[in-house]
Structure 1
Amino acid sequence: MGISSSHTEDGITVITLDFPPVNAVPSKGWFALADALRDAGDDPGTHVVVLRAEGRGFCAGVDIKEIQRSEDHQAILAANRGCAAAFGAVYDCAVPVIAAVHGFCLGGGIGLVGNADVVIASTDATFGLPEVDRGALGAATHLSRLVPQHLMRALYYTARTITAADLHHHGGVYQVVPRADLDGAAHALAGEIAKKDTRVIRRAKEAINGIDAQPVRHNYRFEQGFTYELDLTGAADDARRAFLDGKAR
């Protein structure tokens, strides 16, 4: 369980999230993911990264129970810094990152997927930001990389989800495949990229990031400032408690 990495002979590093039961990632898990992505990019033998997950869904976001157990603000600070580190590591990874998404992709999962280079999803995949229902803000930066601006706003305010098929329609998802074919499809695309001269692909990744109109790191940290504010006002604590109480029922 946790974050694991494996490397294939054809230059593909596969990084897997595995935090049962729903891949709600604890703060240390986000930092571990950031380390795994940096290590992969630093390895000259890695030509491309596939980011995938085990279990019922790709990612349910941060571990709300961990935050709620904390008697001060240290847990929310750790979670926010961990998310920023992991999302940034996807974006800054020296090689292309392909996200292979199944089931639910929520909250922090959107941060990972929105910063990936390519997204492949299974037909059962759904994407959304329940942040406003949890008393937090964040990852609108990344959702806006997957859907048009006004759709992003509607999804954000309502906390509704969108299907992989709809994201494919809007260009946020490259390919939608049956669940059983997801890993194979991700590996096939990764293999195609891995065959290219990695010196060229690494420079291509750097060049594309360099012309990106959106400063993703700055924008996400700006969003997080409002999460801190909501935590200080008590609104976040109220929302998290209501969510956990509802789950208990």
Structure 2
Amino acid sequence: MPVSTSVPDGGVAVVTVDYAPVNALPVRGWYDLADAVRAAGRDPEVRCVVLAAAGRGFNAGVDIKEMQRDVGHQALIGANRGCYEAFSAVYECEVPVVAAVQGFCLGGGIGLVGNADAIVASDDATFGLPELDRGALGAATHLARLVPQHLMRALYYTSRTATAAELHAHGSVWRVVPRTELHAAALELAHEMARKDGTLLRLAKAAINGIDPVDVHRSYRFEQGFTFEANLSGLADRIRDGFGGAANDRTTTAKEQEQKEQEQEDPA
């Protein structure tokens, strides 16, 4: 199953995404993820949810090839709505959500972790929004929850990534561990939360969301309007067609270029 939920253990449920090869989710995948997170949060036996992923990286965003195969705008509309549902499900989950992030966390992945309650990351994890390279916009709302405002803008405009260690220094990543220890570290934090009273945890989650200074739903929906505008104008298609090619004259390191080539080859 591309999206699966483990049997709760000690009040913790683990929702795992596995869309080989790079966890670039199709429209259906975003809705399935939203359903799984909401169901786990509604379970009275669950007091914390761990959001994890199998494979090379945590999330590579939407499946761009699915949109390129669509002659109309249904795939774009579906991706917009699916991402909105998945991000909202994490934010509105009745209990805390701990994101366990390994490898790349890009695009829609930022929407997921930005709305999570806590993040545990492997030491090879990188976070970023390559949206401008892909003819899209969005999730600045969520990146702004991970880094300070001016850094968010610089990362967004350049499509650069930040490391787990850098996010840890900003206080948005709880702990950075070797990849082999990621699952255990995320479960350790989740179990610590799950030892609290379940009813009180749910009240605490609702209270914290209620005092959030930014309405993440409205803010992200506003961003999505500009993504649709870029698509209607044909601008997005022109940029996606040249994705990873010579049109992008931003200087990259060898490692960044290798990652971009992998994402071009795979659904991303």
Fold in common (TM above 0.5): yes
The one-letter code of the counterpart of 1:127 is: F
Q: TM-score normalised to the size of structure 1?
A: 0.98
What fraction of aligned residue pairs are identical, expressed as a percent? 64
Equivalent residue number for residue 162 of structure 2: 162
Larger deviation, residues 180-189 vs 5-14: 5-14
Is there any run of 5+ residues in structure 1 with no aligned partner, and where? none
After superposition, what is the alpha-carbon deviation per residue over 1:113-141, rounded to whole angstroms, capped at 9, x for unaligned?
00000000000000000001111100000
Residues 58-207 of structure 1: pairs in structure 2 closer than 5 A: 58-207=58-207
Is there any run of 5+ residues in structure 2 with no aligned partner, and where? 246-260
CA contact (8 A) 1:134 1:236 kept: yes
| In structure 2, C-alpha distance between the alignment counterparts of 1:30 and 1:9, rounded to whole Å | 25
Q: Give the SS at the match of 1:4.
A: strand
Equivalent residue number for residue 209 of structure 2: 209
| In structure 2, C-alpha distance between the alignment counterparts of 1:9 and 1:177, rounded to whole Å | 22
| In structure 2, C-alpha distance between the alignment counterparts of 1:219 and 1:110, rounded to whole Å | 15
Equivalent residue number for residue 7 of structure 1: 7
CA contact (8 A) 1:50 1:98 kept: yes
Q: Give the SS at the match of 1:34.
A: helix
TM-fit CA distance, 1:83: 0.1
Name whichever structure is richer in strand by fraction: 1
Equivalent residue number for residue 249 of structure 2: none
| In structure 2, C-alpha distance between the alignment counterparts of 1:17 and 1:93, rounded to whole Å | 17
Q: Give the SS at the match of 1:99.
A: strand
The one-letter code of the counterpart of 2:161 is: T
CA contact (8 A) 1:68 1:241 kept: no
The one-letter code of the counterpart of 1:53 is: A
The one-letter code of the counterpart of 1:48 is: C
After superposition, what is the alpha-carbon deviation per residue over 1:154-188, rounded to whole angstroms, capped at 9, x for unaligned?
00000000000000001111110111000000001
RMSD: 1.1
The alignment of Structure 1 onto Structure 2 pairs a total of residues equal to: 248
CA contact (8 A) 1:49 1:98 kept: yes
Stretches (4+) displaced over 4 A: none
After superposition, what is the alpha-carbon deviation per residue over 1:179-216, rounded to whole angstroms, capped at 9, x for unaligned?
10000000011111111101111100000000000100
